[in-house]
Amino acid sequence: MATLKAVTTTEGTPPFSFSAEALAECKRLIARYPDSKSKSALLPILHLAQSENEGWLSVNAMDAVAQVLGIQHIEVYEVASFYSMYNLRPVGRHHLEVCRTTPCMVRGSDDIIAYLEKKLNIHVGETTKDGMFTLKGVECLGSCGTAPMLQCGAKYHENLTPEKVDALIDQLRNEPRTNYTDL
C-alpha cells in the first residue's frame, strides 16, 4: 500500500492538503484492494480531493491524489479530465448539474435549463457573480424515470418544475457548500 501522508504543493495552483479525516478515508478505500491494485481507489479519492478543494480539482489536488496512491500524475489527470463529475475549474458553492439527455429533454430539461439561466442570470458553464451557483449540462444521471432532474452534490432533485427550481434555489442559498461525500 502507498504511504499515506499529508501533501502540500504550491506550484501553479493554490496549495492543497488532505485533512486527517480524508487521509484516513483514503487509507480505508485503498485497503479494499490488493497492494498492487491500489489505483482502483482513484475515483472515490478524487471525490474526496474535490470535496476538500471547494468542489474542484486543482493540479495540486490531483498531484496529492497521485502521491497518496503512489501513481503517476498523468494517470490522475487522464481520469479526472474524462469524467464530467470532476471539475477542473473552480465552481460555485452549489453546482447544479442538469441532465439534458433525451428522456430528460423530452420531459422539458431545455425549459428547466432556460429557467435556471434566466433566474441566475448566467449561461450553462458559468458561475453567478456572487460565487453561489454554477450551472452545468450533463449526460444521463440514471434517473430517467423522474425526468427532468438535476444533481447538486450527492443529491438528486427530480420531476423538476419552475416552482421546484425556485424552492431549491431558495433552500440552497441558506446552505453550506454541497459535497459529493459524507466526510
For strand 94-99 and strand 155-157, is the pairing parallel, antiparallel, or unpaired? unpaired
* Interface characters, 134-153, with ligand FES (x: CB under 6 A): ------xxxxx--x-x----
Which DSSP string do the residues of 131-153 spell out, in sequence order? S-EEEEEES--S-GGG-S-EEET
Q: Does 57 bind ligand FES (CB under 6 A)?
A: no
- State the cell numbers at 43: 475515483
34 cis-preceded (ω within 30 degrees of 0): no
Q: Does 156 bind ligand FES (CB under 6 A)?
A: no
H runs (alpha helix) in the chain: 20-30, 42-51, 59-69, 73-80, 102-106, 109-120, 162-173
* Interface characters, 88-117, with ligand FES (x: CB under 6 A): -----------x-x-xx-------------
CB of 143 to ligand FES, least distance (A): 4
Is the Cβ of residue 43 or residue 140 nearer to ligand FES in the bound state?
Answer: 140
Positions that interact with ligand FES (CB under 6 A): 99, 101, 103-104, 140-144, 147, 149
